[in-house]
Amino acid sequence: MGPRTVWTTGRIALDPGAPSIIPGFAEMLFQIRDEDPRVINRLEGLLREMAAEVRAQGRCGVAVERLRTGAPATMDAAFQDAIEVATAALAGGKFRADAERRRS
């Protein structure tokens, strides 16, 4: 991972989604974000490797599907500064400033 990599799980759905019933199907949506497309591709490759390992065990099927692609975009630096100033004033220090960005 890179210093600004974010990998989130957007949704986990189990079918049937009832208590005390073993699901026959599961779907998980992940989002991988980084300013470097190579980092995204490497992490997606690792996810595909993990899925292949599970498939090789033969206990269940696993598929990885890329839903969306696009070039990473960096937020405008002046807008980032404005957000940081506002959060410092309104959040009483309960925010995370991006020290890496400030150094550049």
pTM of the model: 0.67
pLDDT tens readout for residues 30-77:
888 888 889 999 999 999 999 999 999 998 899 999 887 777 778 888
Which string of b and e fits 32-51 if b means at least 16 CB within 10 Å?
bebeeeebbebbeeeeeeee
What are 78's two structure tokens? 């002046």
